[in-house]
Amino acid sequence: MQKLRLLKYVLLLCFTAFSLSTYAQTGNISGKVTDETGQPLPGATVFIKGTNAHAIVGPDGSFKLPANGNITLVIRMIGYQPIERALTINGTLQQDFQLTADTKGLNEVVVVGYGTQKKSDLTGSITAISSKDFNKGPITTPEQLITGRVAGVQISSNGGAPGAGSKIRIRGGSSLNASNDPLIVVDGVPLDNAEVKGASNPLSFINPNDIESFNILKDASATAIYGSRASNGVIIITTKKGKVGQQMHVNFSSIQSISQKEGIVPVLSAGEFRQVVNEHGADAQKALLGSANTNWQDAIYRTAFSTDNNLGISGAAKWLPYRVSVGFTNQNGILKTSSMRRQSADISLSPRLLDDHLKIDLNVRGAITNSRFADQEAINAAVAFDPTQPIHATNAFGNYFEWLDPTTGGAAPYTLATRNPLSMLELKNDKGEVKRSLGNIQFDYKFHFLPELRANLNLGYDVSKTEGRTLVPAYAGNVFNRGGMDKSYSQTRNNKLLDFYLNYAKDLKGIGSRIDVTGGYSYQDFIRTEPAYPDLNAKGDTISAAGVPFKTQNTLVSFFGRLNYTLLDRYLLTVTVRRDGSSRFKQHWGTFPSAALAWRINQESFLKNSKVLSDLKLRIGYGVTGQQDFGGLLTDYPYLPRYTIGDPTAAYQLGSQYYLTLRPEGYDANIRWEETKTYNAGLDFGFLDNRISGSVDYYIKKTKDLLSVIPVAAGSNLTNQLLTNVGNIETKGLEFTLNATPVSTNDFTWDAGFNFTYNTIKITNLTKVKDPAAQGIPIGTISGGTGNTIEIHSVGYAPYSFFVYKQVYKDGKPVEGGYEDLNKDGQITPDDRYRYKSPNPEFLLGFNSQFAYRNWNLGFSIHGSIGNYVYNNASSNNGAYRNFSYENYLANVATSIRETGFAVNQYFSDYYVENASFVRMDNLSLGYSFKHLLKDKVNLRVSGTVSNLFVITGYSGLDPELGNDKVGTTNVGEGIDNKFYPRPRVYSLGVNLDF
C-alpha cells in the first residue's frame, strides 16, 4: 500500500517536473500545507527557489521534497498569498505552512470569454466569486450562491416554490420587451434563455455543489466578446474539476432542512369578517356566513422537510484528472403538494497530454428533475376565501366545501365564486419531469513549433426533454363543469455549439510589452419542439382538440477577436470585436466592438514601494453590445411574412365545414439588433497586501433601437402591437465593493464584504415619431377586473412606472374615489393618472461576514434594496366591502379595509403603491470543523444555517421582494404583489465529510 502511494508520488513528480536527477539529494523537507482554517490545500506547489525541484501537495496537505543546505522554499496556490521562507536543511526537516487566502489575489486567474486572464491584467469590470465565498445553507439553485455578493447584481428568487428561478439583473438591465436576463455561460457553453417547460428555473439542472466559481462580466469591454447576447451582462459558471497530481479525494455533504412559512397576506379573521359582514352586508350576505373559524392561509401551507445529499470524488488517475459527482435533492415546498426532486450527475475529465501541450476538458452533466407544481391560484383563493366556512363539507366535490349555484339546487359549484383552495391544491396533480444534459469537450493545443500559439476547439451541447401531465378528477370544484382535466405537454430542446479560436501570447521584452491576441469563430444553433396535445377531461373526452405543434430554430454565427496589450506591466489595453450573424434578422450581421484601458498606478515607481498601497488600478472602457433575445412569446422569424395555421378550436364555419384558419402575421421586414453602448470608469484598490481591497465603478448604458412591442399605426401592419426597433433607454449607476479582513490572528479571523449599487434607469424615447403627448405603453396586468394594467412604459420615466390616480386623503384616510384632478379639467378621468415611482430599486446593498475562531466558523449574508416600490395587489383586490357583495358567495377582505373603508375596489389609487425597500438576512450559518479525525485522514464539518432569518421593511404586504412576472419568458409586469409564493424561513443542518 505504502509502496503504491510512493509510486504514485513518483509518477506525479515525473509528470510535472522537468528534471530532478541533476541534484544530489541527501536530505529532505516534509510537512503540511493548510489554509487559515487548517484545511489541507491539495494541489499547492512547493518548490525550491532557483531550481526546478518541486512537489505537489497531496490531498491530506502533505508534501515531501528532497533538499539540502540553505534554500528558499516557495509555496504557491491559486487564490492564496504565496509564502517564501529561507530554511537550512540538515538531514530531515519537518515544517508546516499555512497559506492565507488571497481573496483579491492579483495572481488569481479569472475566466473571461474565450480564455482566461490574470486578475491584475483585467481592464473590464469583472467580479469573480469562488466557492469559498458562496452563500451557505440549503441552496438548490446556482444563482442563490451569490445573492447579495456582487455589486450591481440583483438576484431575487421568484418566490419560495421548490427550485424556483430568480430574477437576475446586472446593472438593472437595458431592455424593455427584450430579455433583461444576463447571458449565462457554463464551462464555455452559452445557454439560451428560452423557457424549459416543466422546470420553474432553467438553471436548476446544475447542482450548486458542482460549481467552482462565478465570474460576472459587467461592462461592455468585458462582455462585448459575446456580442449580440451581452447587453445584460454575462455570468460565467465554471464547474469543479480534478487536478493533476491530486490523490483521490471524496467529499460527501448532506443538508437536512425544515421550511416554515414566515408570514401571510393580512386579511380579516373569521370573527372580524363576521362582524364586518353583519355591519356592512345585505341580509342575503349575512345568511351566507358560516360558523367555522378557518385560517385558509394556515391551511394551505405546511412545514416542509427537504434533504440534499451530494457525493463528489475527484483526483487524478495518472495523466487523467477526474471528478465525478452525484447529487440527490428532495425539496418540499411550504405550499401543500409542491415539491421538486432532482437527481444529478456530473463527470469531468481533464487529461493533459503531449507534455501539457494538449489539454482536454470533457464535461458531461445531467439532471432529472421531477416536480409537482402546486396551483398558485390557491394562494389568492386562500386570501379571499370566507374564513367562516369550513375546509370540508359533505358534498359531491370531494368533500371540500364549495360555494354552490342555487339555481342548480346545489348540484354544481357557483362558477363565479372563489374555489376551495385546498381542493385546488390537493385535487390537482400537476407533474413534470425534465431530463437535461449539458456537456462539452474542449481541446486546447499549444503548438509544438510555436508554444506561444494555442488553438482551442470547444464542442458543446445542451439538450432537454420534458414530459408533463396535469390530472384533476371530475369532482374537483374548479373543473367540475368540464368533468375534470387531463392535459399533457412535452418539449425537447436541442442546442449545439462549436467554438474555435487561436490565441497568440508573447512577451516582447525588448520593448517592455506583452501581447495576447485571440481570434475565433463560433456557431450555435437552438431548436425547440413542443408537440400538441388535446385537452381532455378526466373521462378522456376531448374538451379541445390538439392544436398545431410548435417548433422553432435560431442560429448564431460569430467571428470574434481580442487584443490585450500590456506596456511596462502597468499600461493595459484591451480591444475586442465581435461580428454576429443571427437568423432572427433579415440583415443577419451586426458588429460589436469595445476598447478599454487600464493603468496600474501602484506599479509606477512613486508607489511601487508603498507598504500601505498594494493595488491601485484605473480602468476606463467603452463598448457596444447587442440584444436579439425577445423571449418565448414572440417568434424566431420576426422579419418574415408568415402565415400561421390556427388550432381546430379556432376554426370557422363556411358552409357545413369548419376551416382551419391561416393568419398572416404582423412583421417588420427591417427588424434588427438592439444596441447598447456602455461607458465604464472604475478604480480598483488594495491596501496592506490587499487585506483591504475593493473597487468603484461608474457606468452609463445607452440602449438604442430597443426591441419593443409598440402600438403600430392602425391599418399599416397585420397586428396592433408590433415588435420593432423603437426607443432608447438610459441606465446610469455607481458600484462600490469593499472586502476586508479586519481581524486576523492565529485563532481568530474576521472577513467582511460590503457592496453597494446605485442605479437609475429611464426611457428616453419610445415612439417612431416624436410626440410629447404620448402616454406610453400600458403594462402590468393585475388581479381584479379583467385586463386591468397598473404600469406604463413612458418617456422620461423608469420602465414599469406605476400609472395611478393621486389619492386624496381626509383625516388621514383615503377618500373613496377621491382623486386629484391633475390635468385640471374639472373632472376625474383616466387622464388624471400620473406616473408614481417604479419597482426598480435605486440602491442595492450587500453585506456579508465570516468569523473564524479556531474550529468554529460563523457567517452571515444580508442583502437589501432601497427605493423599490410595489403595487399591493393583494390589498387592492381584496380591500373593499364589494368583495362580499356578490351573489351566492362571500369573500374575505384585506385588513387595509380598516383604514380605507372602501365600498368598491379602487384599483388605480396610488394608496396601493408602497415603498418596498427592505433589508433581508439571507442566511446565518454556524459551523464547527472536526479536524484530524481518523489519523488526519478525515475532515468533518457540521453546520447549522437559518435562511431568510428576517426582513426589515415598511411594506405592509407579505414580502417586499418580488421576482419576475412572466408569461413564458416575456415580462408582463414587475413589482406587482399578487399570488406570491411566500419565501419560507428555512432551518437546516449540514454535514460535510472530506477524506
Partner 1 sequence: MMKQYINTWVVAGCVSLALLVSSCTKDLDREPFYDQTSASVYNDFSNYKSILAKLYAGYAISGQQGPAGKPDLTGIDEGFSNYIRQYWSAQELPTDEAVIAWNDGTLPDYHKMTWTSGNEFIKATYDRIFYEIAVCNEFIRETTDDKLSSHNISGNNLEEAKHFRAEARFLRALAYWHALDLFGNVPFSTEKDEVSASFFPPQINRADLFSYIESELKAIDADLVNARQNEYGRADKAAAWTLLAKLYLNAEVYIQQPKYTEAITYCAKVTAAGYALSDEYRKLFLTDNNTSPEIIFPITFDGIHTKTYGGMTFLVHAPVGGSMSAAAFGINGGWAGLRTTKAFVARFPDPSGNTDKRAMFYTNGQNLEINDIFTFADGYAIAKYRNVSSAGVHGSDQTGDFPDTDYPMFRLADVYLMYAEAVLRGGAGGSAATALQYVNDLRTRAYGNTSGNITAGQLTLDFILGERSRELFWEGQRRTDLIRFGKFTGSSYLWPWKGNVKEGKAVDDFRALYPIPAADRTANPNLQQNTGY
Q: Classify residue 881 by its DSSP letter.
A: G
Grid coordinates representing 94 are: 519537518
Comparing CB distances to partner 1, the nearer of 550 and 950 is 550
N residues, the chain: 995
Query: Are 255 and 330 contacting, i.e. CB atoms less than 8 angstroms apart?
Result: no
Nearest distance in Å: CB 487, partner 1: 13
Three-class SS of residue 29? strand
Nearest distance in Å: CB 777, partner 1: 7
Nearest distance in Å: CB 357, partner 1: 8
Cα–Cα distance list, 357 to 15, 352, 458 (Å): 13, 7, 16
Secondary structure E strands in 404-549: 429-446, 453-472, 485-508, 513-530, 535-536, 542-544
Tell me the β-bridge partners of 99. none
303: number of Cβ within 10 Å: 11
Comparing CB distances to partner 1, the nearer of 399 and 670 is 670
Comparing CB distances to partner 1, the nearer of 155 and 766 is 766
Label each residue of 671-710 as H, E or C: CCCEEEEEEEEEEEEEECCCCEEEEEEEEEEEEECCEEEE
Nearest distance in Å: CB 449, partner 1: 7
Three-class SS of residue 568? coil
Task: Give the span between the Cα atoms of 391 and 412, in whole angstroms.
Answer: 18
Query: Are 264 and 867 contacting, i.e. CB atoms less than 8 angstroms apart?
Result: no
Comparing CB distances to partner 1, the nearer of 25 and 415 is 415
Task: Give the span between the Cα atoms of 967 and 634, in whole angstroms.
Answer: 11
Grid coordinates representing 800 are: 414599469
Q: Which of 501, 648, 617 is nearest to 560 (CA)?
A: 501
Comparing CB distances to partner 1, the nearer of 455 and 989 is 455
Comparing CB distances to partner 1, the nearer of 390 and 451 is 451
Q: Which helix (H) or strand (E) holds 223?
A: helix 220-223
Nearest distance in Å: CB 874, partner 1: 17
Residue for grid cell 391633475 = 822
Residue for grid cell 451530494 = 310
Q: Which of 58, 87, 140, 600 is nearest to 316 (CA)?
A: 58
Comparing CB distances to partner 1, the nearer of 287 and 769 is 769
Nearest distance in Å: CB 788, partner 1: 5
Comparing CB distances to partner 1, the nearer of 667 and 797 is 667
Nearest distance in Å: CB 798, partner 1: 19
Comparing CB distances to partner 1, the nearer of 117 and 781 is 781
Nearest distance in Å: CB 393, partner 1: 20
Cα–Cα distance list, 258 to 134, 523, 682, 858 (Å): 21, 45, 43, 20
Task: Give the span between the Cα atoms of 615 and 693, in whole angstroms.
Answer: 8
Q: Which of 863, 836, 979, 958 is nearest to 918 (CA)?
A: 863
Task: Give the span between the Cα atoms of 793 and 800, in whole angstroms.
Answer: 6
19: number of Cβ within 10 Å: 10
Query: Are 130 and 212 contacting, i.e. CB atoms less than 8 angstroms apart?
Result: yes
Comparing CB distances to partner 1, the nearer of 489 and 637 is 637
Comparing CB distances to partner 1, the nearer of 537 and 948 is 537
Three-class SS of residue 927? strand
Nearest distance in Å: CB 575, partner 1: 22
Comparing CB distances to partner 1, the nearer of 295 and 788 is 788
Comparing CB distances to partner 1, the nearer of 526 and 980 is 526
Grid coordinates representing 957 are: 404586504
Nearest 5°: the CA angle 661, 665, 668 is 170
Task: Give the span between the Cα atoms of 31 and 931, in whole angstroms.
Answer: 16
Grid coordinates representing 236 are: 460565467
Nearest distance in Å: CB 667, partner 1: 7
Comparing CB distances to partner 1, the nearer of 214 and 871 is 871
Nearest distance in Å: CB 371, partner 1: 23
Nearest distance in Å: CB 830, partner 1: 5
Nearest distance in Å: CB 728, partner 1: 16
Query: Are 110 and 116 contacting, i.e. CB atoms less than 8 angstroms apart?
Result: yes
Nearest distance in Å: CB 480, partner 1: 8
